[in-house]
Structure 1
Amino acid sequence: MPKQKGMCIAVFAKHGASPKQAIWRSVVDLLAANAFQVLVCDSMLNSGSSRKSKPECDEANFEFANLALIKKKAKIAVIIGGDGTFLGTARELADCNIPLIGINQGRLGFLTDIRLDDINPTLIDTINGQSVSENRAYLEGQILRQGKVVENHIALNDIVISRGIVGGMVELRVEVDGTFMYDLRADGLIISTPTGSTAYALSADGPILHPSLAGLLIVPVAPHALTNRPIALPQHSTIDIHVTGGKQTGVHFDMQFNGRAKVGDQIRIKVSPHPIQLLHPERYDYFAMLRQKLHWSASPTEAPHKTRGLRDSGHAK
């Protein structure tokens, strides 16, 4: 996407971030210096804060804005934080088709791939079109009770059905496209996108799916029968999970929003028809990212020329 003079860029930071915080303010200053209009999402403010109570933030190079205004005006969103901040923001913007760029202020950063020491000039270059654009899938999850939808949410990584705090296993009946697959007794069940295959699903011995694959993962968590193994399904599949036993069964969306399912409830999961668009730096390399985050080994003599000598993320300049 080429730069447009005065194009509106939204900036998101972790909730409760200080208005004086150097990192997000430096990002705002960089964007403003390059003639972008900047909106900073006011969700980062503490509940007791207000825009007018922060005179040090009332500068001409940005303004605080609510989510509705950002959805209306912003052309790109820049998210500063870890993967959790990115996931939460991505869900909030799921219905408006705004491309997302992540700046890693967390630990792993599978989704936030611009490092803090690479913000200038990598961020501006990425916005100006020196980027790799990638579409990824959301999951839609419904909890149905007596045939009626009682909860309806989305997730970018995964939807997890898990046992409650009182202990015991969940008991589930799993169907795919109306066909019975198996009955499961386990600590939980993960339904994951390729994006989420490097998250909780990986910890439960699920495979890594390349983001370009159109697929879904079903990964049992500590199943009672060890023959219940992870399975990859086509992206168009509809997965119905019937809760047949267990107490206080939880339904977790990206492990950030928690719902409850009762015995007899049905959880229906499918891929959303509306994808998310990520903008990576021009030299983004998925396998270089995996090598860094998962500590895979690599021989310098085997590295391809375009990434040889670059730092871990594969896009540093």
Structure 2
Amino acid sequence: MRRIRWTGLPRNPPESSPGGRRQSGVFSLRTQKVARVESQADMQPRKTVQTIGIISRPRRSNLVVVVPPLLKWLEAHGIQSIIDEETASSLPDGSKGQTRERVADASQLLLVLGGDGTMLAAARLAAPRGIPILPINMGSLGFLTGFTLEELHPALDDTLEGRFSLSERVMISVELERAGKVIDNQRVLNEVVINKGALARMIEPELTIDGDFVCRYRADGLIVASPTGSTAYSLSAGGPIVHPTVESFVITPICPHTLSDRPLVIRDSSSVELKLSGNTESVFMTLDGQRGIPLQPTDLVRISRAKEPLKLIQPPKKSYFEILRSKLKWGEA
């Protein structure tokens, strides 16, 4: 397992994976080693971390109980804190917060208080900036937020002292091309979904992998998920659970008309292209379930592995399978 030392200012993006090759992403073997996805990390002492940004779930009532003692704890340990507007709105003293973009720009570590939705939003800010995230679960399921609220202060202390496990999660790069021009470029952690709007009718997305035509689906939609996203929407649509260290994408049709249209697992160095055929009325591209973009008949969606992974701090004594057992209630009657 690769060792990583964080110097407190992780601003340089890691080297990109060899995604430029055009071999088939379904059958061909990887010919070059790339960085492992999940790694243990050493961190230097606490003084290298001078600024922590706090991003919270909006309108969480218990933030007023959690945040004030947290800010005092950070101040007592010589750490400057920067809070976002959602966190500030929950405080009784009328404090003003910063936009989440400014919080991420000024921070060396992001502390996320919320559930998986808050984590997904924070991931899109942290990954391109090379900032680690320490996630504290204040939501319901919390697949990505591995620390409980009771573990907040011990987790902070361990992180600042370098006693933690760092998981580097693949981010998905998404380009939307319209009339020959790229009009949008995004990074997502879980999945990209092409799905129908309000009308109960099928859509017909065409899938191409590394220039090879795969098929034209007739389905309610199509999901392209990362290993992290394999336990989200893709799992609900019948896709497999993929360990975060498996360098892959999962392509899962949503309620396909043909039962033989099954999920595909391809390597993440592949270039995936999606375009619509047939009726394209009221079709959307949805990113991590948080942003919807209407698609037009000539649009082309390009999906690939992003250069910058998400650096996610996790409990050192909790394995991935322990989290699965806990969240999915495996083995319970």
Shorter-chain-normalised TM-score: which range? 0.7 to 0.9
- TM, length-normalised to structure 1: 0.85
Of the structure 1 ranges 162-171 and 27-36, higher mean CA displacement relative to structure 2 is found in: 27-36
Report the equivalent of 1:4.
Answer: 46
Which of 56, 72, 89 does residue 13 from structure 1 map onto? 56
Q: C-alpha separation between the residues in 1 aligned to 2:62 and 2:114?
A: 15
Report the equivalent of 2:296.
Answer: 262
Report the equivalent of 1:140.
Answer: 173
In the TM superposition, 1:220-239 aligns within 5 A as: 220-239=253-272
Q: How many residues align?
A: 288
Contact 1:133 1:280 in 2 (8 A): yes
- Kindly report the root-mean-square deviation, in angstroms, between the aligned alpha carbons of the 2 structures: 2.1
Contact 1:130 1:281 in 2 (8 A): no
* SS of alignment partner, residue 131 of structure 2: coil
Q: C-alpha separation between the residues in 2 aligned to 1:89 and 1:182?
A: 34
Q: C-alpha separation between the residues in 2 aligned to 1:55 and 1:122?
A: 26
Q: Name stretches of at least 5 consecutive residues in structure 2 with no aligned partner.
A: 1-42
Contact 2:88 2:97 in 1 (8 A): no
Which of 18, 33, 56 does residue 93 from structure 2 map onto? 56
Contact 1:19 1:57 in 2 (8 A): no
Report the equivalent of 1:76.
Answer: 109
Report the equivalent of 2:131.
Answer: 98
Residue 68 of structure 1 and its aligned partner are, at CA, apart by 4.8
- TM, length-normalised to structure 2: 0.81
Give the counterpart letter for 2:290 in structure 1.
Q
Any idea what the Cα deviations from partners look like across 1:237-260, whole Å, max 9, x if unmatched?
111111002321110000101001
Report the equivalent of 1:124.
Answer: 157
Any idea what the Cα deviations from partners look like across 1:69-105, whole Å, max 9, x if unmatched?
4334311111000000110111123321100010000
* SS of alignment partner, residue 155 of structure 2: helix
Which of 65, 80, 83 does residue 37 from structure 1 map onto? 80
Residue 55 of structure 1 and its aligned partner are, at CA, apart by 7.2
* SS of alignment partner, residue 291 of structure 1: helix
Q: C-alpha separation between the residues in 1 aligned to 2:196 and 2:235?
A: 19
Report the equivalent of 1:291.
Answer: 325
* SS of alignment partner, residue 196 of structure 1: helix
Q: C-alpha separation between the residues in 1 aligned to 2:181 and 2:86?
A: 32
Q: C-alpha separation between the residues in 2 aligned to 1:218 and 1:24?
A: 40
Report the equivalent of 2:66.
Answer: 23
Q: C-alpha separation between the residues in 1 aligned to 2:162 and 2:122?
A: 22
Contact 1:136 1:276 in 2 (8 A): yes
Q: Does 1:278 align with 2:312?
A: yes
Report the equivalent of 1:107.
Answer: 140
Q: Name stretches of at least 5 consecutive residues in structure 1 with no aligned partner.
A: 299-317
